[in-house]
Structure 1
Amino acid sequence: MNQSFYVGALGAGSCSSKISVIANNLANINNNGFKPKTAVFSNLIRYNLNDTPDAETKLHSGAGMKVQRTYTSFDPAGMTQTGSPFDYAIAEPNAFFMVQDPATGAVSYTRNGHFYRAEREDGFYLMTDSGKMVLDQNRSPLRAEVEDVERLLAEMSGGDDAEEEYENEEEDENRPRISLYTFANPSRLISVGDNEFVPGDTGAEPLLLENPVMTPGALENSGTDMAKEMTKLIECQRAFTYALRMVTTSDEIEGTINTLRG
Structure 2
Amino acid sequence: MNRTMITAQNTLTQLQKQMDIVSNNMANIDTTGYKRREANFTDLLVQQFNNQTRPNAEGNRLTPNGVRVGVGAKLGQSQLVMTQGSLKTTDRPLDLAFTTTGQYFRVLEQGENGSAVRYTRDGAFYLTPLSQNETMLVTGDGYPVLDENNNPITITGDVKEFKVTEQGRLIATMNNGSTSEFNLGISLIKKPQFLEQKGGNLLGLPENFEELNTPVEDILTEMSGPLRNQIAIQQGALEQSNVDMAKEMTELINLQRSYQFQSRSISIADQMMGLVNGIR
Q: Which bracket does the TM-score occupy, shorter chain normalised?
A: 0.7 to 0.9
Distance 2:237 2:164 in 1: 16
Distance 1:42 1:249 in 2: 25
Distance 2:157 2:140 in 1: 20
1:258 aligns with 2:266: no
- State the TM-score, normalizing by the size of structure 1: 0.81
Q: Which residue of structure 2 lines up, in the alignment, with residue 231 of structure 1? A: 250
* 1:79-115 C-alpha deviation (Å, 9 max, x unpaired): 1011111110111111110001356322111111111
Query: How many positions carry a matched residue from both structures?
Result: 235
1:93-108 alignment to 2 at 5 Å? 93-101=101-109, 104-108=114-118
SS of 1:11's equivalent in the other structure is: helix
- Sequence identity percentage: 28
Equivalent AA in structure 2 for residue 133 of structure 1: P
1:1-262 alignment to 2 at 5 Å? 1-45=1-45, 63-101=71-109, 104-121=114-131, 123-145=134-156, 150=161, 153=163, 155-156=165-166, 176-200=182-206, 201-202=209-210, 203-205=215-217, 206-209=220-223, 210-211=228-229, 212-260=231-279, 262=280
Q: Select the structure of larger CA radius of gyration.
A: 2
Q: Which runs of 5+ in 2 are unaligned?
A: 49-68, 172-177
- State the TM-score, normalizing by the size of structure 2: 0.76
RMSD: 2.7
User: Cα distance, 1:156 vs. partner?
Assistant: 4.6
Higher percent of residues as helix: 1
Higher percent of residues as strand: 2
Q: Which runs of 5+ in 1 are unaligned?
A: 50-60, 163-168, 170-174
Distance 1:119 1:180 in 2: 24
Distance 1:184 1:157 in 2: 19
Distance 1:132 1:177, change over 3 A: same
SS of 2:40's equivalent in the other structure is: strand
Q: Could you say which structure has the greater relative contact order, defined with CA pairs below 8 angstroms and 6 or more residues apart? A: 1
Distance 1:63 1:14, change over 3 A: same
